[in-house]
């Protein structure tokens, strides 16, 4: 349960940060707010690419391997 909550918190935090970045970019660039979604998508893709190379290989998680649910599959 602890790993699930950490995973949920990580995903929520990154989603919030990417959305905020998208809105900040549209505000600073003085472009229509609908551009916030593509900017956030680009930020999410870049984060996943970087995390896949610097974090736990094979995942887009930024959690350490000890807390990443993908590192410890559930035993049935």
Domain positions in the chain are: 2-52
pLDDT band at 73 (very low <50, low <70, confident <90, very high): low
The tens digit of pLDDT for each residue in 21-54 reads 999 999 999 999 999 999 999 999 999 888 888 7
Query: CA distances (Å), 35 to each of 3, 16, 46, 50, 62, in order?
Result: 34, 16, 17, 23, 26
User: Can you give the pTM of this predicted structure?
Assistant: 0.78
pLDDT exceeds cutoff 90 at 67: no
Grade residue 76 by pLDDT with cuts at 50, 70 and 90. Answer: very low
Angle at which helices 36-54 and 2-29 cross, to 10°? 130
> At CA 3, angle to CA 39 and CA 40, rounded to 5?
0
pLDDT band at 69 (very low <50, low <70, confident <90, very high): confident
Angle made by CA atoms 45, 22, 69, in degrees to the nearest 5: 40
């Amino acid at each position: 349960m602890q790993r699930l909550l950490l995973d949920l918190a990580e995903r929520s935090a990154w989603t919030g940060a990417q959305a905020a970045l998208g809105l900040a970019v549209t505000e600073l660039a003085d472009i229509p707010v609908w551009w916030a979604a593509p900017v956030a998508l680009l930020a999410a893709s870049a984060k996943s690419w970087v995390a896949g190379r610097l974090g736990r290989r094979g995942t887009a998680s930024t959690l350490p391997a000890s807390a990443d649910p993908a590192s410890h599959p559930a035993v049935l």
